[in-house]
Structure 1
Amino acid sequence: MRCMRSTTIGLIFAVAAIYSVVILFVGDERVSFHSVLRHFPQAPRSVEPPVWVSVEREADADLRVDGTRVELRAPLVFNHSDDEPITVHLVLHSHVDPGWLETFDQYYEHKVHNILNLAVAQLTEHEDLRFIWSEVSFLERWWTLASEEQKKQAKRLVAEGRLEVCGGSWVMTDEATPYFWASIDNLIEGQRFLTETFNVTPRTSWSVDPFGHGSMIPYLLPLAGIDNMVIGRINNELKKDIRQKSLLTLNWQQSWTNGASKDSPKAAFVNVLPNKYYTTSDACGPDLHVCCQFDIGPTARSMCHKRADDVSPQNVAAYAEQLAEQYRKLSKFYRTSSVLVPIGDDFFFSVVEDWTVVYKNYKQLLDYINSNPKYKMNVRFSNVGEFFASVDQKTRSTAPLLSGDFFPYLDDSAGPYPAWTGYYAHLPYHKRMGRIVEEKLRSLDLLRLASGSRNDGLKPALVESRRNLALFQHHDGITGTSRKHVMQDFLQRLYWAFDNVTAAQQQLFGGDSQEKFEAVDFLNDDQGRLLTHRLFQSAEKKESRIVLFNPLTIQSTRRVVVRVNSPKVRVLSGQGKPIQAQILPQILNGTISSEFFDLLFFMPIEPLSRVEVSLSFEETQPPLTSVSRVHSSSSQKSPFERLETGGSFIANNSLLKATFFDGKITQLSLGDQEVGLSFELNKYADRGGAYVFVAGERVALPTLRSFFYVDGPLCRRVFGVSDSVNISHAFSVFSSGDSLVDGSLDLEVLSNVRITVNENYMFSLGTRAIGSNGTFYTDANGLHMMKRRFNSKESVAMNFYPAPSAAFLEDRRLRLSLLTNQPTAVASLASGFFEFMVDRQLSGDDGKGLSFGEADTSLPSRLNYRILLEPRKNVSYGTQSFFHSALGFHSLQDMLYPVTAMVRSSDAPLASWPSLFQGLLPCDVELVTFRFLTENTALALLRRLPFDAHSAAPLPSDCSGALDAFWNLLRARLPGGTLFVSNLTGTQKGESVASGRQFAALFDDAFLIRAIRIELP
């Protein structure tokens, strides 16, 4: 419960300062369509521009939620009658965070194993009792340690529905900051365990503690077979409003629609808890002083002068009268004759007396109420499934339609810490590290597909890695809202996952040949802490062979950067052909290194394929390896030839031009469209904590202590170091001849704010050329884009929204996009401008559970972004945007999913892998994931994307790939496999997919994620 919370971490400098560079440097791959024709001339050229599948229109809805505002299409009047019988479902639960004030292991030892032991024992003893559970991570730990008798009893209780597992995710995820790939994997991991252990698939969801609810979960859950949800934390002022209108029962649909398609996403049926929390004292009705009395048991935490833990024949009538009155009043907040009432709290039911006191006293109360006709009530111990089963179909079908989401979360508008927007970007190092492990796992899954490996020996390491990543998705993990030692535990689990996945990748690269491959090396700073992570090759080795794997499903030109200790290095393709390269300076803390350099080159790689390159260190400078020229504002000595400039610098290629003066960007153009561009660092005084942003004075930090211009044939870069805080940034423009490489401006930010306190650092990015007028868009966890509006009546903090991977603002002529490789927070406080959080360092206690000093350790971070400027065409007034352009999406994919690089130990020819793709997968079809569920079962998730047709940016030059061809190749790659449509997690299969035409027909609808289960002999 977040009336008591705690955060940050210990002192490891590691892999997110780190691996952003394995994203940015060990292979910042660039998706390229034009390069397909250049490097792969056999690819057919499209004669006509591609026609994208479209989202028909914005979905109709009775309620639209936009931040703190709710818009009603009609009055939505609903009349209640006190004569109407109601059924009250008492749902016993325990909210068990798998990491918050204690670590996962500590909580399990101290509380959770007792809760589950007692739940099984008490439900076995009392046939009328029910209990719900949501954190599969804890259930799996309990199961591995339970006795055979306990397992037998638990299986029986689950089969009978008396012990109900809701949601089935490994953890109750945060909903603001994850990328949807990790959320799907979280679901798969939990539901696979439930299917294999209990032979059940959840039908309901219980998600009552995330700090605001987004549109991702009500989209994914119906695809997994769950269309009944209980949620808790929505903006408290908004909740009061809709509660008075009896609107706490809703059908939650997406903000877009595919029209009359039978496969349009199903709206989730949602029951919203009535007050702030999921506790007994907060949920029995509107009078919390009365409800508090019925929060009984020795571990009850509410502050109450009197408790109903002494129910007897003498006082049962008085207690029952109070409780029944609350239940009746509660029912008027809903449009059903059934009411759900939680009984529980954080780690409640951890001692036997909690169970006995609750059962003894509530049993008397419900017996009395049920036997007294005047109440017209049936009160019973129940669970979430039984509650939803009692809601008739007419009520479901007539419940109001909601679209939008419930961000930002506000719990007390009158309090000192109202806006829960700080956690969107808190502890960026941890958030970056989580994204790195996601990328590594996805790449490993696709490596298994590409190599044809069904090596079950990888399973233990993979399972552990997936579960550690899933644990981090918890709403106190990725959010950065746990105590320091708990955040350190989350981080250590991510490191373990990273190491395990890397070791598995080494095995897969070797395949049956038993050849050894080396992973990337780690470089330490002078304090011995892990600071950055790059592919490093030493001149002492003379020659190295590097193998690159492309995890994307389109032919791509990849950016590869290798750290070297000599600039005299030649790059050759696997066929021995020289490759053009450039030596870049390594700049750290405003100083050019004379010992290490970055070697940049580009490589075309087919989808899901490997290529080999070799590095040869020479005595003289190779003619195709250009050494950059460098201008330093501080005139420091360096091994690079000095670039003469008068303070201005143009970083350009055939498509993009960025103009700089004194190290600061002033203009950006794509093609003929040129605009003035502003990019400045700002600092807010922040009186909040890990959860809450409380904006004080805003101070611009425009001065650069030093800047560098770097010039060369493949890369032009501008590196700026802030004068007042240890934050630096680098803009890069690349020249590969590929529109999807050259059409975006790269931005890397290095942040180290540990010596500051109570400050929130942000960059402002924008142009006066775009008249966005307070409207902007942020992504819904990567699934689609959500329209946002600046609200001048709200505080600065309440105008920030989560941006897990993207944001853009636009008018009819231009779109400016910010793509981000780690979750952040974005606002548009002025027309044409973004403000996005970079880092924050806080000492305060925002009253949500973490004490003073728990949010004051943000580790040095290396953060990656892309900036796109796109001309628009044929835009009508009122046009709604739902997604990226083709350029925007594939630039994002390129940043999220870099090449995997390994160093070979052998000089023998590289063993070939059969190509999975003889042609392209259509460029508007995304392979979300492919993973083995078991040695003989695989799951593929794909979706068709509605690219913005109004973009005038460069288009893919070939989108001729065919889904039926992909189906044929998939069958050939997995011989003997039978394909079935399945639910999202692969736990339930539907009709078989018997032909390529049938397979292709599944992808007619925009955004719809299709799951294909492949069963192998």
Structure 2
Amino acid sequence: MANFLYQQFRKKSSLYAYNTILVPIGDDFRYDSLHEWDEQYSNYQRLMRYLNSRKDWNINVQFGTVADYFSLLKREGKKKNFPTLSGDFFPYSDQNYLYWTGYYSTRPFDKRFSREVESNLRTADILNTLAFGYCNKWNVKFAHSHETASLLQQARRHLGLFLHHDAITGTSKDYVMENYESKLLEAYNDTQKVMSMALQTLLTKGQFTSPLILSPDLIRQKFNVRTSQRTISISDSGTTIVVFNPLPKNRNMLISLIVNTDTLQVLDRNMKVMSYQLNPVWISKVSVSTSKFEITFLVELPPLGIHTFLLRKGACKEMYPSLLSVYNSMELDVAPNLKFAQNRPVYQPKQSQKLQIENDFVLGEFDPVTGLLQKVLDKRTGNVTNIQIQFMYYISRGSGAYIFFPKGEANPLPNVWGQPVVRVTEGPLMSKIEVLHPIVHHTVILYKVPTEQGQNFHIQNVVDMHASKTKDWEIIMRMHTDVMNENLQYFSDQNGYQLIKRRTKSEIGIAANYFPMTTMSIIEDSSKRVTVHTGQAHGVASLHQGELEIMLDRQLMHDDDKGLGQGVTDNKPTLSKFILQIEYRDKTESEPMTTSSSLSALIINEALQQPPAVFYTTINSEVIRPSFDIASQSLPCDISLVSLKNLVNSDLDYDGTSLILHRRGYKCGFNANYLQCSLSKDVTLSSILPDLIINDARETTLTHLYNRSKALVVKDALNIPVMELATYKIIL
């Protein structure tokens, strides 16, 4: 054994420029018992004594740390500066050209679940902090302070547990994943409860804290069922809708609710009747519900603001029923008493028929047979981008939870069930096209609002791989564009903070050219950029010029021998959200080596990751205020509020407030005229929390363990360098 180790150490030393080498011992399945640790340690000690005693081998082996290793290198003094390697080490391959690129997309249900919990936790933290701070200002006790602290602490622990490298990756056994999902469900419900408590406290000035009367619009009924919207009943006295904006920027956007009547009015906080669009709720491919309806209306939310709306029964002149169309079907079942307009069903549409949705900014043209996007017209510039969406699948040759190992190129999803039904809903506030394939329910929504929400196409895919015909399939959404990206170069983000260049090397195979996509991916040339924003993590590739493909889900019958010991067969119907953004440069430029998101892309992605929180109550209470506005102005476009949360000690007592800001880098040269924020404003603590008394504030390290400044003046501008995080501890 000693001789074998000696030979291995000698071979490894030939790869090093120094006389000292670093040899890690063990892996993630080692040292899980005291007995094993003792045996490993004592056996290595014996081997080291023997190796070091062999003078002819001229070797000295000892235990040490990484710090010890670099200390020895510096002592050798061959080089003053060590070489550095940039990048993220993706993709990883351990043997036989097997690439660990499958887990980027394994169990997307759980990746989506964790992203929703993350958003909920951030929103709950902000609301809890505001409720505590304003109760101090009003000289009333925040009745729920210890309970919310406990719930948030537990939710944070559950989410943190899921970030384990065999949880967020989806590479644990079925029963272990169920345990993770149960904890995520508990965190999801706990954060919603905190939001309800804090919203009720803020809207009643701390006067009415029990019982809780606010219920969330979104619910998760079971750990293995995706999020759904409640059907909101309109009470005789009216139902109050509460909407909170978790972003420190103005936000004018359309929201949609499910209600139990199509005869109602929507009133804003000033009791002014608002216009809204009435959309159908489908109970089958071609049948419309007579008891449930979707309403879409505009909300204008200030930074970190809360606005209420009233839904009450009654006829409304400002209600606009949508127009319904169906393709690839002979039926459209709409009850005669419903208000929707409808076109005659088109059973066999012709390619010459136009299928379009548009607003004042963009027009999307779709294939009337498949219902899939084909091209996009920018009405402001006249530029046309050819972009064809396809749904395809790879057949596994040896893929598993970790490994992506396909059998050749991807194939189009089969039409053995016939052409999918295509539904079109059109109205003055939004239009959408739905494609009802048995495996993928694909929806493209175009909002008609003059803000960033209305500039892009919103894509939702619900993938259901329960069908037996999907065994050993790996389903992708491929976008083929006319972007001329040289050298098959594109970009994906690293944990939502920066973009890194990827370059496809066709000679090493498909699996080796997949990379992780956390929040966005970009493909561009000298005049055009296509950005795909994602609401959850996926794997992404650009295998041919002008293409981006995103893996949506994988059903794998076999183990890949990387430690899991099973395949991945517990697939659930899973929602994936994307935003398709097309931008044109103000002037052409050469292919960049590095890039950043455009300013508008930063805002769009932030809005995707942090949706507004919507609650409602059927109890008519005059104690609830119509609105609660907190910040007087938006933060600059390039400043993100990463976190605003109360810190607590071991007894869950208040121990200060954490504020983390991030100044994000962005790429110039793209249109950003429609954004609801600016770049010219200074950021101060008093501008973020203008109504609260800040007793002390200091810049600290990210962990808040060490101060980086003396006490700050709350009206002084904060100095946040580009691409840096700034952390502050505030005493309210």
TM-score band by shorter chain is 0.7 to 0.9
Equivalent residue letter for 1:581 = Y
Q: Does 1:431 align with 2:431?
A: no
CA distance in 1, matches of 2:38, 2:220: 56
Equivalent residue letter for 2:609 = L
On the 8 A contact 1:335/1:399 being kept in 2, the answer is no
Secondary structure, aligned partner of 2:148: helix
5+ unaligned residues in a row in structure 1: which ranges? 1-292, 294-318
Write out per-residue CA displacement over residues 257-287 of structure 1, whole angstroms, 9 at most, x where no aligned residue. Answer: xxxxxxxxxxxxxxxxxxxxxxxxxxxxxxx
Equivalent residue letter for 2:148 = L
Secondary structure, aligned partner of 1:782: coil
Provide closer, same or farther for how the CA distance between residues 917 and 539 of structure 1 changes in structure 2, counting only shifts above 3 A: closer
On the 8 A contact 1:682/1:761 being kept in 2, the answer is yes
2:137 aligned partner: none
On the 8 A contact 1:812/1:873 being kept in 2, the answer is no
Select 1:675's aligned residue among 385, 389, 393. Answer: 385
Equivalent residues in 2 for 1:557-956 (5 A)? 557-587=252-282, 590-594=285-289, 595-618=291-314, 620=315, 622-633=316-327, 634=329, 635-639=331-335, 640-643=340-343, 647-662=353-368, 663-670=371-378, 671=380, 672-687=382-397, 688-697=399-408, 698-701=410-413, 704-722=419-437, 725-738=438-451, 740-755=452-467, 756-768=470-482, 770-852=484-566, 854-904=567-617, 905-911=619-625, 915-934=629-648, 935-952=654-671, 954-956=673-675
On the 8 A contact 2:103/2:170 being kept in 1, the answer is yes
Write out per-residue CA displacement over residues 42-74 of structure 1, whole angstroms, 9 at most, x where no aligned residue. Answer: xxxxxxxxxxxxxxxxxxxxxxxxxxxxxxxxx
Report how far residue 352 of structure 1 moved. Answer: 4.5
On the 8 A contact 1:777/1:785 being kept in 2, the answer is yes
CA distance in 2, matches of 1:784, 1:523: 32
On the 8 A contact 2:254/2:447 being kept in 1, the answer is no
1:411 aligned partner: 94
Provide closer, same or farther for how the CA distance between residues 779 and 592 of structure 1 changes in structure 2, counting only shifts above 3 A: farther
Secondary structure, aligned partner of 1:464: helix
Provide closer, same or farther for how the CA distance between residues 384 and 977 of structure 1 changes in structure 2, counting only shifts above 3 A: farther
Provide closer, same or farther for how the CA distance between residues 874 and 443 of structure 1 changes in structure 2, counting only shifts above 3 A: same
Provide closer, same or farther for how the CA distance between residues 906 and 387 of structure 1 changes in structure 2, counting only shifts above 3 A: farther
Equivalent residues in 2 for 1:141-540 (5 A)? 293=1, 319=2, 323-324=5-6, 326-336=8-18, 338-369=20-51, 378-388=60-70, 390-392=72-74, 398-414=81-97, 418-453=98-133, 455-511=145-201, 512-515=206-209, 516-520=212-216, 530-539=225-234
CA distance in 2, matches of 1:336, 1:1013: 45
CA distance in 1, matches of 2:156, 2:32: 28
Report how far residue 689 of structure 1 moved. Answer: 1.1
Provide closer, same or farther for how the CA distance between residues 693 and 998 of structure 1 changes in structure 2, counting only shifts above 3 A: same
Write out per-residue CA displacement over residues 318-365 of structure 1, whole angstroms, 9 at most, x where no aligned residue. Answer: x3x654554454444344554433333445444444344334443344
Q: Which shows bigger deviation, 348-357 or 745-754?
A: 348-357
Select 1:992's aligned residue among 696, 701, 710. Answer: 710
| Structure having greater relative contact order (Cα 8 Å, sep ≥ 6) | 1
Report how far residue 950 of structure 1 moved. Answer: 1.9
Equivalent residue letter for 1:991 = S
On the 8 A contact 1:422/1:690 being kept in 2, the answer is yes
Report how far residue 583 of structure 1 moved. Answer: 1.4
Provide closer, same or farther for how the CA distance between residues 587 and 691 of structure 1 changes in structure 2, counting only shifts above 3 A: farther
On the 8 A contact 2:388/2:479 being kept in 1, the answer is yes
On the 8 A contact 2:220/2:226 being kept in 1, the answer is yes
Report how far residue 427 of structure 1 moved. Answer: 1.1
On the 8 A contact 1:452/1:974 being kept in 2, the answer is no
2:139 aligned partner: none
CA distance in 1, matches of 2:225, 2:516: 29
1:980 aligned partner: 698
Equivalent residue letter for 1:533 = S
5+ unaligned residues in a row in structure 2: which ranges? 134-141, 649-653
Write out per-residue CA displacement over residues 154-191 of structure 1, whole angstroms, 9 at most, x where no aligned residue. Answer: xxxxxxxxxxxxxxxxxxxxxxxxxxxxxxxxxxxxxx
Provide closer, same or farther for how the CA distance between residues 477 and 352 of structure 1 changes in structure 2, counting only shifts above 3 A: closer
Secondary structure, aligned partner of 2:186: helix
On the 8 A contact 2:254/2:299 being kept in 1, the answer is yes
CA distance in 2, matches of 1:346, 1:380: 22
Report how far residue 586 of structure 1 moved. Answer: 2.1
2:724 aligned partner: 1008
Secondary structure, aligned partner of 2:423: strand
CA distance in 1, matches of 2:442, 2:165: 30
CA distance in 2, matches of 1:485, 1:570: 47
Provide closer, same or farther for how the CA distance between residues 577 and 524 of structure 1 changes in structure 2, counting only shifts above 3 A: same
Write out per-residue CA displacement over residues 4-45 of structure 1, whole angstroms, 9 at most, x where no aligned residue. Answer: xxxxxxxxxxxxxxxxxxxxxxxxxxxxxxxxxxxxxxxxxx
Report how far residue 943 of structure 1 moved. Answer: 1.9
CA distance in 1, matches of 2:406, 2:374: 28
Report how far residue 702 of structure 1 moved. Answer: 7.5
CA distance in 2, matches of 1:482, 1:685: 22
Equivalent residues in 2 for 1:48-59 (5 A)? none
Report how far residue 996 of structure 1 moved. Answer: 6.0
Secondary structure, aligned partner of 1:398: coil
Report how far residue 945 of structure 1 moved. Answer: 2.0
- Fraction of identical pairs, as percent: 24
CA distance in 2, matches of 1:940, 1:452: 15
Report how far residue 443 of structure 1 moved. Answer: 0.6
Secondary structure, aligned partner of 1:989: coil
CA distance in 2, matches of 1:522, 1:969: 31
Report how far residue 875 of structure 1 moved. Answer: 3.3
Equivalent residue letter for 1:587 = W
CA distance in 1, matches of 2:80, 2:696: 37
Equivalent residue letter for 1:685 = I
CA distance in 1, matches of 2:27, 2:193: 41
Secondary structure, aligned partner of 1:342: coil
Q: Which shows bigger deviation, 804-813 or 379-388?
A: 379-388
CA distance in 1, matches of 2:629, 2:214: 24
Report how far residue 974 of structure 1 moved. Answer: 5.2
CA distance in 2, matches of 1:830, 1:361: 53
CA distance in 1, matches of 2:627, 2:219: 32
Secondary structure, aligned partner of 1:400: coil
Report how far residue 809 of structure 1 moved. Answer: 0.7
Report how far residue 957 of structure 1 moved. Answer: 5.9
Q: Which shows bigger deviation, 840-849 or 481-490?
A: 840-849
Equivalent residue letter for 1:761 = I
On the 8 A contact 1:875/1:950 being kept in 2, the answer is no
Tell me how many residue pairs correspond in the alignment.
685
Equivalent residue letter for 1:933 = L
Secondary structure, aligned partner of 2:570: coil
CA distance in 2, matches of 1:482, 1:946: 36
